[in-house]
Chain A
Amino acid sequence: MVSMVNQMDLLEVLGDINKGGLIMIFQTFCNRTASKERIDVSSINPVPDRYKKAVDSIINIMKDKTEIFNVIEVPFVEVAFNDQDFEQILEDKLTDGEIPDEIICKLSAGIYNKAITQLTDSEQAIIKVLSTYICIQN
């Protein structure tokens, strides 16, 4: 499993946010926060029960916003990265520190109606950040 988050970039983002309380345009936030590595996974298994409700909710919130990620803010996601020591939380919550492939695949299909491998880099960045957000919160 590839690293979900580019730590160096994230530290820069956190610095900005902490100083000015700045919330970024969502696509910009995701581009800066996510790693640049391509995700290449597939899964036909269902999303683990623990994450199912959150995944469905996030898809419902985001599926009609794909064309406006470059103009809107999504504060609840950014604040989760900002407010919490999310790396420690992820380490405590996740098996081997890995985000389940099923979350990534379900989000990709639900939000973009495409497999994760078919997404552009910007679209993958959105999925990486949302997958991480769900694991931080659950």
Chain B
Amino acid sequence: MNTIINKAMIQPIPTDRYRISSTEVIKYLQDQLGFVVDYDFTRWTGISPDNSYIRLRIVIAHDDIVARNTSRDYVDKVLEENAAGIRFKDNVINTLKPFMYPLNMQDIRNKPEQMARFEALGIVGPRLDEIIRYSKLTYHRETNSFGLYLRAERIIADMLTDPNTGVINGDMEILGVFGTTPETFRWEVAVTRNRSGASATGHTGISLDQIFATI
């Protein structure tokens, strides 16, 4: 155990810090998928530079995601507008799903607490509109490919998951996003390891909540 150097001998909170680059995020994503995607990152500034959000767009080639027995003609004729009804490869969808925005993303406007958080991060107006629009796979006929917005923060959470337990060893928090170009964008992430909280029981052995509730 590390020697504690402070006057009150207060225990530090064990925390692991990570700096994760956009390059590492996209490499991890492509390693999960097993194929290369086209992508870009854009940083949206929120109420202050410390409150920013990095938007991740990806484009997937038709053959990488559509099950083989779904013909190109079928896609062209029936499903130009969106991807509903196409038979996708299960393994690709299962891999993407944890990184996608919720399917009911449009309902977010009815959730004030989440909207407040989004507003702080600058995800409002046209930015929110495009996230809602592209939260589902969208077919692009000219390039015969599919566009999708993904949650980089969910990819990062997956990157930091312990493969032996399937969970992150603590509470993950994105402390900030930095960088000025897509190549230099990075997330500063902290994982605070779980520890037991202070005792809420007094010398009487009775919960302090119980005592104060009866005073």
Contacts and interface: CB of A to CB of B under 8 A. Distances in A.
Interface stretch (B108-116, B145-153, B158-166, B173-181): B158-166
Contacts, number: 43
Interface in B74-107: 90-92, 94-95
A134 to B, nearest CB: 8
Interface in B158-197: 162-166
A57 B166 contact: yes
A54 B92 CA distance: 23
A53 B165 CA distance: 6
A109 interface: no
A61 B163 contact: yes
Contacts of A53: 164-166
B164 A137 contact: yes
B34 interface: yes
A54 B165 contact: yes
B142 interface: no
B31 interface: yes
Contacts of B90: 64
Contacts of A64: 90-92, 94-95
Interface string B27-39: 0000111110000
B177 to A, nearest CB: 24
A64 B34 CA distance: 10
B34 A65 contact: yes
A67 B164 contact: no
Contacts of A121: none
B165 A57 contact: yes
Contacts of B92: 64
A56 B34 CA distance: 22
A64 B158 CA distance: 15
Nearest to A73: B31
A138 B164 CA distance: 8
Interface in A33-65: 53-54, 56-58, 60-61, 64-65
Contacts of B163: 54, 57-58, 61, 76
Interface of A: 53-54, 56-58, 60-61, 64-68, 71-73, 76, 134, 137-138
Given A54-B165, A57-B166, A64-B91, 6 more contacts: A53-B165, A53-B166, A60-B166, A61-B163, A66-B91, A73-B31
Interface of B: 31-35, 90-92, 94-95, 162-166
